[in-house]
Structure 1
Amino acid sequence: MPRVSINRKEHFNAAHRLYNPDWSDEKNESVFGKCNNPNWHGHNYEIIVTLTGEVDPDTGYVYDMKKLSDLVKEQVLNRFDHKNLNLDIKEFQNLIPTAENIVKVIYDLLRDKIEEKYEMKITLYETERNFVEYPS
């Protein structure tokens, strides 16, 4: 059977601060710059969930897009949208909410809910020009 990739794009808005508590304020400022603002800053994140698998001959689907949309909403958007990632999201209590760490957390949240027969990749845009993918 042919393997096809499907994609679902969503967005959420969230605030965060890049800060390593083991470092001095000066080192945090030097490494993270404006992203270290103690009063937080925010992004309009775009997320693309890609699933790759065989086309089901009975449905013509790789994966039901409505099911994927609902899963992304439940596991990601409802948790992250209009939140302070540092304060409101348990996964970032001891993890710096960089785009690299955010994409990995999102992947783990969704991977637990999607069968292993599907390859999965998450692309997270922090800005129009800056994005990360996991796995790469």
Structure 2
Amino acid sequence: MNVTIGRTEHFNAAHRLHNTGWSDEQNTAVFGPCNNPNYHGHNYVLTVRLTGTPDPDTGYVYDLKRLSDLIKREILDTFDHRNLNLDVADFRQLNPTAENIAMVCWQRLRPHLAAHLALSVTLHETDRNFVEYHG
């Protein structure tokens, strides 16, 4: 019997979508205003889901307070109120698209969770645009 639990958090961050191997014209054509050399920001909404069998002693799939603390330590403390391109080592060589941000969040969380737990990350960049990553 599998059950999915989830925790939603928020962080604010700036970024610029840019491929250093391309010309300015190609970057502008592909990324439009998201390629602004002065960056732009989002109020991201991150939902982390864990799926597994509830522990027979606690009834928990995973303690949600522990999950909240893990997300804070591994993601919020690093990403919140930062320029992802300039301030976050994960994105020094990786374009901080919503897809890549979701994958990095998953990669930062996965080593801290038991192997039997399925991990899923959903990142809303805007009210209408979101990505999911399941590893």
The bucket for the TM-score relative to the shorter chain is over 0.9
Deviation of the 1:55 alpha carbon: 0.8
Deviation of the 1:57 alpha carbon: 1.3
Deviation of the 1:135 alpha carbon: 1.8
Does 1:118 pair with 2:88? Answer: no
- Please give the TM-score of this superposition, normalised by the length of structure 2: 0.98
Match of residue 23 from structure 1: 22
Q: How many residues align?
A: 135
Alignment of 1:1-136 (within 5 A): 2-135=1-134
Provide the aligned C-alpha RMSD in A. 0.8
- Paired amino acid for 2:22: W
- Paired amino acid for 2:72: K
Gaps of 5+ in 2: none
- Paired amino acid for 1:124: L
Deviation of the 1:108 alpha carbon: 0.2
- Deviations 1:96-134, CA, capped at 9 Å, x for gaps: 000010000000000011111100100000001000000
User: SS at the partner of 2:32?
Assistant: helix
Question: Could you tell me how far apart the structure 1 residues matched to 2:95 and 2:2 are?
Answer: 36
User: SS at the partner of 1:112?
Assistant: helix
Question: Could you tell me how far apart the structure 1 residues matched to 2:34 and 2:134 are?
Answer: 25
Structure 1 residue runs of 4 or more that deviate by more than 2 Å after TM superposition: none
